[in-house]
């Protein structure tokens, strides 16, 4: 009886140890490889190789790219807010044109309509987005 309890216990411990080592190994691997997926780091590495940059130049290029990325993200955030406000204003203007019963249905369809308003704002007659030329809202 004692032997029959030890074997499942040993197998359970071995399984838990395997899970723990596997989790640690995945974490180690991804910490090392995900950095290589960073576009700024890839750009620095590519420029470093093609232009034979020294370490100081690589660090300065990385700093310039990081600062430019930060400035770009700040502008993107402000721009997203402007686009959201324009979409909301368009929805409100459409709602004001509707009869009360239509406004109620419009309100219930808000999530679909809001997405379609974004698609409309992102496209132009000369350059429609794939989403804007998809099947109309149901």
Q: What is the pLDDT along the chain (138 residues), one digit of tens a residue?
A: 555 678 788 888 889 999 999 999 888 887 777 666 778 888 898 999 999 999 999 999 999 999 998 999 999 899 888 888 888 888 889 889 999 999 888 887 876 776 666 666 666 666 554 444 444 444
- Give CA–CA dist 108/102, Å, rounded: 10
- Give CA–CA dist 110/95, Å, rounded: 10
pTM of the shown model: 0.46
- Give CA–CA dist 42/56, Å, rounded: 17
DSSP state of 35: G
Where are the domains positioned within the chain?
A: 1-37, 39-138
């Amino acid at each position: 009886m004692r032997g029959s309890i030890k074997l499942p216990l040993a197998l359970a411990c071995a399984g838990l140890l395997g899970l723990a080592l596997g989790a640690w190994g995945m974490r180690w691997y991804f910490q090392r490889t995900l950095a290589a997926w960073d576009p700024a780091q890839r750009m620095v590495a590519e420029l470093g190789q093609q232009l034979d940059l020294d370490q100081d130049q690589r660090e300065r290029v990385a700093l310039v790219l990081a600062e430019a990325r930060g400035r770009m993200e700040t502008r993107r955030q402000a721009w997203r807010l402007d686009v959201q406000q324009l979409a909301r204003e368009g929805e409100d203007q459409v709602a004001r044109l509707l009869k009360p019963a239509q406004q109620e249905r419009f309100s219930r369809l808000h999530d679909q309509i809001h997405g379609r308003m974004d698609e409309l704002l992102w496209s132009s007659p000369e350059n429609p987005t794939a989403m804007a030329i998809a099947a109309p809202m149901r």
